[in-house]
Amino acid sequence: MAADAFAAGIAAVSPEPLAEAALAALYAHYRELMRWNERLGLIGPGTADEVLVRHYGEALAALPLIPRSARRGVDLGSGAGFPGLVLAAARPALEMTLVEARERKWSFLVTAARKASLPCRCLNVRVASPLPAGLPERIDLVTVRALKLETDVLGALARRLTPEGMMLLWAGERDPELPPELVWQASLPLAGAERRRILQLRPAGMGAIGKNDLVSSSDQEPACP
Protein backbone atom coordinates (compact mmCIF):
# COMPACT_ATOMS: atom_id res chain seq x y z
CA MET A 1 0.00 0.00 0.00
CA ALA A 2 1.37 3.41 -0.97
CA ALA A 3 1.92 6.08 1.69
CA ASP A 4 -0.91 8.33 0.49
CA ALA A 5 -3.43 5.47 0.45
CA PHE A 6 -2.26 4.42 3.93
CA ALA A 7 -2.67 7.98 5.26
CA ALA A 8 -6.19 8.17 3.82
CA GLY A 9 -7.05 4.84 5.42
CA ILE A 10 -5.73 5.94 8.80
CA ALA A 11 -7.70 9.20 8.56
CA ALA A 12 -10.85 7.15 7.97
CA VAL A 13 -10.40 5.02 11.12
CA SER A 14 -8.80 7.49 13.54
CA PRO A 15 -11.13 9.33 15.96
CA GLU A 16 -8.88 12.40 15.81
CA PRO A 17 -6.58 13.98 13.20
CA LEU A 18 -2.97 12.83 13.35
CA ALA A 19 0.14 14.90 12.69
CA GLU A 20 2.29 14.22 9.63
CA ALA A 21 5.03 12.83 11.86
CA ALA A 22 2.58 10.36 13.39
CA LEU A 23 1.39 9.22 9.97
CA ALA A 24 4.99 8.76 8.83
CA ALA A 25 5.76 6.68 11.92
CA LEU A 26 2.67 4.53 11.43
CA TYR A 27 3.52 3.94 7.78
CA ALA A 28 7.04 2.89 8.70
CA HIS A 29 5.53 0.45 11.19
CA TYR A 30 3.11 -0.84 8.53
CA ARG A 31 5.92 -1.51 6.07
CA GLU A 32 7.91 -3.44 8.68
CA LEU A 33 4.77 -5.31 9.70
CA MET A 34 4.16 -6.47 6.14
CA ARG A 35 7.81 -7.47 5.75
CA TRP A 36 7.98 -9.49 8.98
CA ASN A 37 4.48 -10.93 8.86
CA GLU A 38 5.36 -13.53 6.24
CA ARG A 39 7.86 -15.13 8.62
CA LEU A 40 6.30 -14.54 12.03
CA GLY A 41 2.55 -14.47 11.41
CA LEU A 42 2.23 -11.29 13.45
CA ILE A 43 -1.35 -10.72 12.26
CA GLY A 44 -3.87 -13.01 10.60
CA PRO A 45 -4.75 -13.01 6.91
CA GLY A 46 -6.72 -10.10 5.51
CA THR A 47 -6.72 -7.33 2.95
CA ALA A 48 -4.86 -4.08 3.53
CA ASP A 49 -8.13 -2.32 4.34
CA GLU A 50 -9.01 -5.01 6.88
CA VAL A 51 -5.63 -4.54 8.55
CA LEU A 52 -6.26 -0.80 8.85
CA VAL A 53 -9.69 -1.24 10.42
CA ARG A 54 -9.06 -4.29 12.57
CA HIS A 55 -5.63 -3.41 13.93
CA TYR A 56 -4.80 0.28 13.45
CA GLY A 57 -8.44 1.32 13.90
CA GLU A 58 -8.89 -0.67 17.10
CA ALA A 59 -5.68 0.79 18.54
CA LEU A 60 -6.47 4.40 17.61
CA ALA A 61 -10.01 4.03 18.97
CA ALA A 62 -8.53 4.42 22.46
CA LEU A 63 -7.34 7.99 21.84
CA PRO A 64 -10.48 9.73 23.22
CA LEU A 65 -9.98 7.86 26.50
CA ILE A 66 -6.33 8.90 26.96
CA PRO A 67 -5.63 12.38 28.35
CA ARG A 68 -2.85 14.27 26.65
CA SER A 69 -1.28 14.75 30.06
CA ALA A 70 -0.38 11.01 30.18
CA ARG A 71 3.41 10.65 30.10
CA ARG A 72 4.32 7.05 30.97
CA GLY A 73 2.62 4.10 29.31
CA VAL A 74 3.09 0.33 29.33
CA ASP A 75 1.69 -1.99 26.67
CA LEU A 76 1.60 -5.66 27.66
CA GLY A 77 1.77 -8.43 25.08
CA SER A 78 2.69 -5.92 22.38
CA GLY A 79 3.21 -8.54 19.65
CA ALA A 80 2.76 -6.70 16.34
CA GLY A 81 2.73 -3.28 18.01
CA PHE A 82 -1.01 -2.96 18.60
CA PRO A 83 -1.97 -0.88 20.43
CA GLY A 84 1.24 0.28 22.14
CA LEU A 85 3.41 1.32 19.22
CA VAL A 86 0.46 2.88 17.41
CA LEU A 87 -0.49 4.96 20.46
CA ALA A 88 3.15 6.01 20.91
CA ALA A 89 3.09 7.39 17.36
CA ALA A 90 -0.22 9.17 17.85
CA ARG A 91 0.80 10.65 21.24
CA PRO A 92 4.52 11.54 20.97
CA ALA A 93 4.61 12.89 24.56
CA LEU A 94 3.70 9.41 25.83
CA GLU A 95 6.81 7.41 26.77
CA MET A 96 5.68 3.88 25.94
CA THR A 97 7.24 0.66 27.17
CA LEU A 98 6.39 -2.32 24.95
CA VAL A 99 6.46 -5.68 26.72
CA GLU A 100 6.65 -8.92 24.71
CA ALA A 101 7.64 -12.36 26.02
CA ARG A 102 8.30 -14.01 22.63
CA GLU A 103 11.79 -13.16 21.46
CA ARG A 104 11.12 -13.02 17.72
CA LYS A 105 8.15 -10.69 18.18
CA TRP A 106 10.24 -8.59 20.56
CA SER A 107 12.89 -8.35 17.82
CA PHE A 108 10.22 -7.09 15.45
CA LEU A 109 9.15 -4.42 17.94
CA VAL A 110 12.72 -3.21 18.39
CA THR A 111 13.17 -2.92 14.63
CA ALA A 112 9.76 -1.35 13.98
CA ALA A 113 10.23 1.27 16.71
CA ARG A 114 13.64 2.16 15.28
CA LYS A 115 12.35 2.41 11.70
CA ALA A 116 9.43 4.55 12.92
CA SER A 117 11.83 6.81 14.91
CA LEU A 118 9.84 6.18 18.08
CA PRO A 119 11.68 6.17 21.45
CA CYS A 120 9.79 3.13 22.75
CA ARG A 121 11.47 0.88 25.31
CA CYS A 122 11.06 -2.77 24.30
CA LEU A 123 11.28 -5.38 27.06
CA ASN A 124 11.63 -9.10 26.34
CA VAL A 125 10.04 -10.37 29.59
CA ARG A 126 7.03 -12.36 30.73
CA VAL A 127 4.51 -10.46 32.84
CA ALA A 128 3.81 -12.10 36.19
CA SER A 129 3.54 -11.20 39.85
CA PRO A 130 5.88 -9.91 41.15
CA LEU A 131 6.25 -7.65 38.14
CA PRO A 132 9.42 -8.02 36.06
CA ALA A 133 12.27 -5.55 36.28
CA GLY A 134 12.26 -2.67 33.84
CA LEU A 135 8.68 -1.50 34.18
CA PRO A 136 8.20 2.12 35.34
CA GLU A 137 7.48 2.52 39.04
CA ARG A 138 4.69 5.00 38.28
CA ILE A 139 2.47 4.54 35.24
CA ASP A 140 -0.16 6.79 33.69
CA LEU A 141 -1.48 4.24 31.18
CA VAL A 142 -1.51 0.45 30.90
CA THR A 143 -2.86 -1.13 27.69
CA VAL A 144 -3.63 -4.81 27.10
CA ARG A 145 -5.11 -6.01 23.80
CA ALA A 146 -4.11 -9.61 23.21
CA LEU A 147 -3.04 -10.97 26.57
CA LYS A 148 -5.03 -12.51 29.42
CA LEU A 149 -3.65 -11.42 32.79
CA GLU A 150 -4.28 -13.06 36.14
CA THR A 151 -5.99 -11.03 38.84
CA ASP A 152 -2.83 -10.75 40.95
CA VAL A 153 -0.93 -9.29 37.98
CA LEU A 154 -3.69 -6.75 37.38
CA GLY A 155 -3.52 -5.82 41.05
CA ALA A 156 0.26 -5.37 40.93
CA LEU A 157 -0.07 -3.13 37.88
CA ALA A 158 -2.89 -1.14 39.50
CA ARG A 159 -0.66 -0.33 42.45
CA ARG A 160 1.76 1.39 40.07
CA LEU A 161 -0.89 3.57 38.46
CA THR A 162 -0.76 7.29 39.23
CA PRO A 163 -3.88 8.75 40.90
CA GLU A 164 -5.16 9.86 37.48
CA GLY A 165 -3.82 6.76 35.72
CA MET A 166 -5.88 4.15 33.92
CA MET A 167 -5.82 0.69 32.43
CA LEU A 168 -7.39 -0.05 29.02
CA LEU A 169 -8.36 -3.63 28.18
CA TRP A 170 -9.45 -4.69 24.69
CA ALA A 171 -12.09 -7.30 25.51
CA GLY A 172 -15.01 -9.32 24.20
CA GLU A 173 -18.38 -9.92 25.80
CA ARG A 174 -17.09 -11.46 29.00
CA ASP A 175 -16.05 -9.07 31.77
CA PRO A 176 -12.63 -9.83 33.25
CA GLU A 177 -12.30 -10.54 36.95
CA LEU A 178 -10.86 -7.47 38.64
CA PRO A 179 -8.72 -7.16 41.76
CA PRO A 180 -9.92 -4.80 44.54
CA GLU A 181 -7.34 -2.23 43.38
CA LEU A 182 -9.27 -1.59 40.12
CA VAL A 183 -12.78 -0.35 39.38
CA TRP A 184 -14.82 0.07 36.21
CA GLN A 185 -14.90 3.49 34.53
CA ALA A 186 -16.17 3.23 30.94
CA SER A 187 -16.71 0.93 27.99
CA LEU A 188 -16.05 1.90 24.39
CA PRO A 189 -17.66 -0.25 21.65
CA LEU A 190 -15.33 -0.87 18.73
CA ALA A 191 -16.59 0.07 15.28
CA GLY A 192 -17.24 -2.90 13.05
CA ALA A 193 -16.84 -5.39 15.91
CA GLU A 194 -20.19 -6.39 17.36
CA ARG A 195 -18.84 -7.90 20.57
CA ARG A 196 -15.49 -6.19 21.04
CA ARG A 197 -14.90 -3.14 23.23
CA ILE A 198 -12.28 -1.23 25.18
CA LEU A 199 -12.75 -1.30 28.94
CA GLN A 200 -11.41 1.64 30.91
CA LEU A 201 -10.39 0.86 34.49
CA ARG A 202 -9.26 3.24 37.22
CA PRO A 203 -7.51 2.86 40.57
CA ALA A 204 -10.01 2.14 43.35
CA GLY A 205 -11.09 5.21 45.27
CA MET A 206 -11.09 7.56 42.28
CA GLY A 207 -14.87 7.87 42.11
CA ALA A 208 -15.40 5.33 39.34
CA ILE A 209 -18.86 4.16 38.32
CA GLY A 210 -20.42 0.75 38.69
CA LYS A 211 -20.08 -1.97 36.09
CA ASN A 212 -23.74 -1.81 35.14
CA ASP A 213 -23.44 1.93 34.43
CA LEU A 214 -20.64 1.70 31.87
CA VAL A 215 -20.86 4.34 29.17
CA SER A 216 -19.65 4.53 25.61
CA SER A 217 -17.11 7.06 24.41
CA SER A 218 -19.88 9.09 22.76
CA ASP A 219 -21.09 10.02 26.26
CA GLN A 220 -17.69 11.29 27.35
CA GLU A 221 -16.05 14.63 26.83
CA PRO A 222 -13.25 14.49 24.28
CA ALA A 223 -9.65 14.76 25.40
CA CYS A 224 -8.40 18.31 25.69
CA PRO A 225 -6.23 19.46 22.79
- pLDDT of 162 reads 96
What are the tens digits of pLDDT across the range 38-89?
887 787 766 556 888 889 999 999 999 999 999 999 999 999 999 999 999 9
- pLDDT of 216 reads 44
- Per-residue pLDDT band at 221 (split at 50, 70, 90): very low
- pLDDT of 48 reads 59
Give me the mean pLDDT over the 95-106 stretch. Answer: 96
- pLDDT of 214 reads 43
3-class SS letters over the chain: CCHHHHHHHHHHHCCCCCCHHHHHHHHHHHHHHHHHHHHHCCCCCCCHHHHHHHHHHHHHCCHHHCCCCCCEEEEECCCCCCCHHHHHHHCCCCEEEEECCCHHHHHHHHHHHHHCCCCCEEECCCCCCCCCCCCCCCEEEEEECCCCCCHHHHHHHHCCEEEEEEEEEEECCCCCCCCCCEEEEEEEECCCCCCCEEEEEEECCCCCCCHHHCCCHHHCCCCCC
- pLDDT of 92 reads 94
- Per-residue pLDDT band at 220 (split at 50, 70, 90): very low
- pLDDT of 194 reads 74
Burial class (CB in 10 A: 0-12, 13-18, 19+), 12: exposed
**% of the chain beyond a pLDDT of 70:** 89
Give me the mean pLDDT over the 91-109 stretch. Answer: 96
Give me the mean pLDDT over the 15-39 stretch. Answer: 94
Q: Looking at mean pLDDT, say which of 33-47, 131-145, 186-200 comes out highest.
A: 131-145
- pLDDT of 223 reads 34
Q: Apex CA 188: angle with CA 178 and CA 210, to 5°?
A: 45
- pLDDT of 43 reads 79
Give me the mean pLDDT over the 122-151 stretch. Answer: 94
Instruction: Please state, as a whole number, how many other Cβ atoms lie within 10 Å of the Cβ of residue 86.
Output: 31
CA 43, CA 79: separation in Å to the nearest integer? 9
The residue extents of the domains of the chain are 3-219
Instruction: Please state, as a whole number, how many other Cβ atoms lie within 10 Å of the Cβ of residue 43.
Output: 18
**% of the chain beyond a pLDDT of 90:** 76
Q: What's the mean per-residue pLDDT of the chain?
A: 88
CATH code assigned to 3-219: 3.40.50.150
- pLDDT of 45 reads 66
Does pLDDT of 212 surpass 70? no
